Chains A and B, each alone.
Chain A
Amino acid sequence: MSPDFTPVSAAIGGGLIGLAAALLWLALGRIAGISGILGQAIGAATSGAERLWRILFLLGLPLGAWLAVQLGLAGLPSAPPTNLALAVIGGLLVGFGTRLGSGCTSGHGICGLARLSPRSLAATIVFMAGGMASVFVLRHLIGG
């Protein structure tokens, strides 16, 4: 097992992610899917009020992450991406793929599975497998 394994902070952080998703669903009836919320927030066909809550939600993400670091609840992220070409390709794939597949780790993984949606289960298995395949190729076939 890796020395980086942090089950306690991972589960607590996961619980907070779940709490955020539960709040958005129980209070506003909205799925906390970041790709959907971001896609709608920057999409041309979104009306003013529909755009506003999405932008505020999205602003909360960096604010919350910054706060966690300021309060000493989390360390600074150790390694932001340094290969910019890879960042562009990865970003394009993540952006296009999450919209085509109607969701990401939060929408399918945290909300969809909780709704017992077969679609979300299928999507979660596929994107996990895709991520693992990518890392395998990059680290062990090309980088090996």
Chain B
Amino acid sequence: MRMSLIALVAGLLLGLGLAISGMFDPAKVLGFLDIAAIASGGWDPSLAFVMAGGLAVTLPAFQVARRWSQPVAAEKFHTPSAAGIDAKLITGALLFGIGWGLVGYCPGPAVAALAFGATGTIVFALAMAAGMLLHGAFATRR
């Protein structure tokens, strides 16, 4: 119960942040990724400020948590496995980046923007879910 409530509040905060920062707007994201526009004066560096604003909170929070033996409302920290920098990581990040640049959605903004019901958003989100399931099918086969 408590876990569900915390998860919902965190999701709400994230949705608010994605909207206020403008990240839920593909035009804004593409305006950042378009570095050729630096020369022509049309580049929008806003996304770097989103990143900086986020890290200004998470950097101290994650460093403080290092000294905690467990989280406030759960048994343990689910620390990601440190597999090292391998081909999977780089290939995955590259495919993700290419897809991100084609449309301007990464997973969070795509889910958040579902609130406004645009066909393009729904199609993207369904394709994204399909891509995830496809990966799941590949991963279990091996």
Interface residue ranges, A against B (CB under 8 Å): 1-2, 4-7, 9-32, 34-35, 38-39, 42-44, 49, 52-54, 56-69, 73-74, 76-84, 86-115, 117-119, 122-124, 126-136, 138-140
Give A127 to B59 CA distance when docked, in angstroms. 21
Given A4-B44, A97-B94, decide whether A78 and B27 contact each other with a Cβ distance below 8 A: yes
Which 3 A-B pairs have CB atoms at the shortest separation, nearest pair first? A60-B11, A64-B15, A130-B97
A–B Cβ pairs within 8 angstroms, 9 of them? A17-B23, A27-B71, A34-B106, A58-B11, A77-B116, A80-B121, A93-B102, A110-B55, A133-B97
Minimum CB–CB distance from B78 to chain A (whole Å) comes to 5
* A14 in contact with B21 (CB, 8 Å): yes
Residues of B within 8 A of A81 (CB): 26, 103-105, 118, 120-121, 123-124
* B101 in contact with A132 (CB, 8 Å): yes
Contact of A114 among B61, B99, B118 (CB under 8 A): B61
* B25 in contact with A31 (CB, 8 Å): no
Contact of B58 among A13, A44, A111, A133 (CB under 8 A): A111
Residues of A within 8 A of B68 (CB): 26
* A104 in contact with B99 (CB, 8 Å): no
Instruction: Count how many pairs of residues, one from A and one from B, have CB atoms less than 8 Å apart in the complex.
Output: 516
Please provide the chain B residues from 87 to 123 with a CB less than 8 Å away from any CB of chain A in the complex.
88-108, 110-116, 118-121, 123
Residues of A within 8 A of B70 (CB): 29
* B97 in contact with A97 (CB, 8 Å): yes
Residues of A within 8 A of B8 (CB): 56-57, 59-60
Summarize B's interface: helix, strand, loop or mixed.
helix
Report the contact-size class of chain B (Cβ under 8 Å from the partner).
35 or more
Give A61 to B16 CA distance when docked, in angstroms. 7
Given A79-B26, A98-B96, decide whether A32 and B116 contact each other with a Cβ distance below 8 A: no
Residue of B nearest to A79 (CB): B27
Q: What 5 new A-B contacts, CB under 8 Å, besides A80-B113, A119-B83?
A: A79-B27, A96-B131, A101-B95, A127-B96, A138-B102
* A93 in contact with B98 (CB, 8 Å): yes
Given A26-B65, A128-B97, decide whether A57 and B120 contact each other with a Cβ distance below 8 A: no
* A101 in contact with B17 (CB, 8 Å): no
Contact of A13 among B20, B80, B102 (CB under 8 A): B20
Minimum CB–CB distance from A93 to chain B (whole Å) comes to 3
Minimum CB–CB distance from B48 to chain A (whole Å) comes to 8
Please provide the chain B residues from 30 to 69 with a CB less than 8 Å away from any CB of chain A in the complex.
30-31, 33-37, 41-47, 49-59, 61-65, 68
* A65 in contact with B113 (CB, 8 Å): yes
Contact of A92 among B33, B71, B76, B134 (CB under 8 A): B134
Residues of A within 8 A of B121 (CB): 80-81
